[in-house]
Chains A and B, each alone.
Chain A
Amino acid sequence: MRPTSPVPLSLLLVGTLAALLMPGQPCLATEISALSQRITVDEAGTGLVEVEVTVIAPTPGRILVPLGFGGAQELQVGEQPGVAVTLEKSGGRPCLAIITDRAFPQGQTVKARYTLPGFYEWNGKKRSDFGNHTLEYRFVNSQALPIVAFVAEVLLPPAYLVNSVEDSIPELNEKTPVAPFRVVRVGERSGVRIRASKLGLGDTCMVQFRFKRNAKPVGLLLVGLAAAALYLFAFRDLIGKQPNGRGVAPGGGMAQTG
């Protein structure tokens, strides 16, 4: 048996490395410089997702942009010369495939929209927890390309208001000078916008919030007004002549706390 020469081995290594770096894999300089998602939820819980993605593609090729959701339907793509967009799955994860037939070193913005039936499960009318529903939006970058700037907006049906933001990634803490999320209003709709930057493979952006119908108890208004009127009547002696020069505190006794 002839002994193995070291030359073919090194050639093999170089070849393997070259194969790894060949087209078919994203180019090193290729990146998703911005990705924004606006999800408008209707009363049935269906989400209409509007995506705007800006990619930098020094060479023509195929760029996979993670969707964050399964079950996307009715994809509509704006006309973009030199760009084709399809819904695909990569490693079992749904994504938007942007195929460019030319280079876009300065970046190219692609707009698409699709629907997500059952984006939010209402589970009927809630009475507990002050009628609040909880919605969690979570986006995971399931693809290799980093997303430099990410922003997502979840807009509620017009009759609903964001009551409180419970949790987020990136989180709001004592080291966060700028809140990663904002409560927004777009037309009649209330919602939450969350931002994140430099999302690498597996990184998550998440916001969890409670929302409820925009309805205030009218009874409270009546009770408040009645209490104010009653007080003015019942405690009119406060401003009357004080026989002993001492004011009487509501509820009897003198009222002054330490």
Chain B
Amino acid sequence: MSDIAAVSASARAGAGVASPASSSADNGELTDLLDLSKHRLSTVKERAPSNSERWMRYLGFPGGVLLFLALYFMPPPAGLTAAGQSVIACFMLALVWWITEPFPTYVTSLCLMLLLVFLDGWQMEKVLGVLGMDVIWLNVMAFVLASILLKTNLAKRLALALLVKFGKGAMPTLFAFFLLQLALAPLIPATAARTIMTLPLMLVVAAIYGASAEKPTNFGRNLFLQNLLGINIFSSAFMTGSVANIMAIAFIMNMGGKKVYYSDWMFANLPVVLVVMLIAWVIGPKLLFRIKPEETKLRIAGGPAALADFLKKMGPMSAAEKRGALIFGLVVFLWVTDRFHMGWFGFEINPVMAAMAGVILTFLPKIGILGWNEADIPWHLMIFSCGAYAGGMALESTGAARWVISKVFDALHFGPGVNFWLVYVVVIAVMAYSHLFFTSKTMRTIILIPFIIAIAQQLGFPALSLALPAAFTIDWVVGLPISAKPNVILFTTGQYSVLDNAKYGVLMTTIGVIVLALAGFTWFRVLGITPGF
């Protein structure tokens, strides 16, 4: 029997190694909880909607249709193409349906793609071409890699170790993930890569706390949404956190004439990000998605001691685990060392290709670990993502997103003599919330940062004072499941709805804007970014 078949058999038994719990009646409950084969992401989950959700579904469909008709049939606004108007109408319809869910989200995505083509918003070739985008490929590769960790017990082992060390309750567990994401952010700039690495741990921890797609709990909501927030906004703490950050710096240097160093960026924004994350860590479980007392405890008899016992009984790593760790380690190594690739190989291996290399190894006979059927790829999510990206890209390519932003600034009528702090707060808010209408951080940066520099120059403010704080919000893409790659990946788990994401994301964006505004009055003044009074 081949290696793959052997692993497959053990995986079906619930573990890649002989399950230590199977011989112990004490932790049979834990074994059951950790049987992640029950929680396949590729299976569309079912759950009972609450009363308010049923009302939203009922009113969401006609509400979306009416909004669509109003936007589509209104007189064409100046400066907007007919295609741009169609795309805005279609996207808003989809946005309402994604949030209220009269249909499953992937059906809404298909409707959006169809409407974009039928209403001449975006050409069919481009709409269909989204399936070939790197983000979709990265998602596919990500789920195969995550399957390695889940099938070989590595995820269980790591998650248990994390919980034994920090997980004395819900809050410390959430804090442990806070630290984990903080530690990974400067090492691995690619947010999707960090998501892939930590998703299996989240799944195991969620299972131990009794949160699943079938029975979502507030602990699960907090766990996944806090990680979503952390993965995204920790990127904004470092200048190299994303390509868009670097582009913003280039604009500030070329158009604003100011050079910004790595340390300038980090000293300014890392404290802001830490404050926002700390607030989120408290507000999420205590206010927004209140964790019930029964959710704060481990769903196993014996509590943390049972976890430690289980971990001990897992024994040393199996051969499959070691191979899994090796393959995953290789991919992570390529992600972490991306800046050295050019020197080593003469070319740069981008995160998708690094993941693809790992996936090839995963499926190879003898060396590999998984068979195709064991790779848990949620194709319904890919369809959802395609629709979402098609809508977002159509908004950008028809100039609709640019038009919306320019209209917002036009409506504000900033003129000479306007108070700097008013402009500062408005600019930060527009930049932060604009992620709801963009799917690309790069495009958002290209459109907004030069705009903001021009506003600063027109009003006689230093370009840096507005553009740099605005650039700090580039990675705050937390409002919707379509706002960024990590959001799409985490949404697959079914642990929260689009509405949950929107509520959490908009609240945290608002908190971010407030903290950045306060930092502008204080910390940024000390650093000389914003002017004195």
Contact = CB atoms under 8 A, between A and B. Distances in A.
Interface of A: 130, 132, 161-165, 174, 176-179, 182-185, 190, 212, 214, 216, 220-221, 224-225, 227-229, 231-232, 235-236, 238-239, 242, 245-247, 249-251, 253-258
Contacts of B83: 163-164
A227 B399 CA distance: 30
7 contacts: A164-B83, A177-B251, A235-B57, A249-B104, A250-B103, A256-B213, A257-B44
A225 B73 CA distance: 13
Nearest to A242: B54
B62 A255 contact: no
Interface stretch (B274-282, B311-319, B378-386): B378-386
B255 A177 contact: yes
A178 B380 contact: no
Given A228-B65, A231-B102, A238-B58, A258 B49 contact: no
A107 to B, nearest CB: 25
A162 B49 contact: no
Interface in B29-79: 41, 43-49, 53-55, 57-58, 61-62, 65-66, 68-69, 72-73, 76, 78-79
B493 interface: yes
B57 A247 contact: yes
A228 B59 CA distance: 9
A183 B399 contact: yes
Contact of A253 (B43, B46, B61, B80): B46
Contacts of B81: 161-165, 183
Interface string B161-191: 0000000000000000000000000000000
A177 B254 CA distance: 11
Nearest to B101: A255
Contacts of A179: 399, 402
A257 B45 contact: yes
Given A235-B58, A250-B103, A164 B398 contact: yes
Nearest to B41: A258
Interface string B366-380: 000000000000101
A224 B65 contact: yes
Residue among A179, A182, A235, A255 having the largest count of chain B Cβ atoms under 10 Å: A255
A-B pairs, 8 with minimum CB distance: A177-B450, A228-B62, A254-B46, A258-B494, A185-B78, A130-B120, A247-B49, A164-B83
Given A183-B79, A228-B62, 6 more contacts: A162-B82, A177-B251, A212-B120, A232-B62, A258-B213, A258-B378
Contacts of B103: 250-251, 255
Given A178-B450, A258-B381, A161 B66 contact: no
Contacts of B58: 232, 235-236, 238-239
B72 A216 contact: yes
B202 to A, nearest CB: 14
Contact of A174 (B43, B255, B446): B446
Contact of B82 (A163, A178, A228, A251): A163
A224 B66 CA distance: 8
A164 B126 CA distance: 14
A37 B43 CA distance: 60
A257 B384 CA distance: 10
B105 interface: yes
Contact of A246 (B45, B48, B78, B446): B48
B106 interface: yes
Contacts of A246: 48-49
B442 interface: yes
Contacts of A162: 81-82
A214 B102 contact: no
Contacts of B120: 130, 132, 163, 212
A221 to B, nearest CB: 6
Interface in B434-474: 442-443, 446-447, 449-450
Contacts of A177: 251, 255, 446-447, 449-450
Contacts of A165: 81, 399
Residue among B83, B447, B494 having the largest count of chain A Cβ atoms under 10 Å: B83
A177 B61 CA distance: 38
A178 B251 CA distance: 12
Given A183-B80, A184-B79, A256 B450 contact: no
Contacts of B402: 179
Interface string B229-261: 000000000000000000000010001000000
A239 B497 CA distance: 19
B61 A174 contact: no
Contacts of B80: 183
Contacts of A220: 69, 72
Contacts of B62: 228-229, 231-232
A110 B48 CA distance: 74
B44 A245 contact: no
B82 A161 contact: yes
A249 B73 CA distance: 30
Contacts of B72: 216, 220
B218 interface: no
Contacts of B73: 216, 221
B105 A257 contact: yes
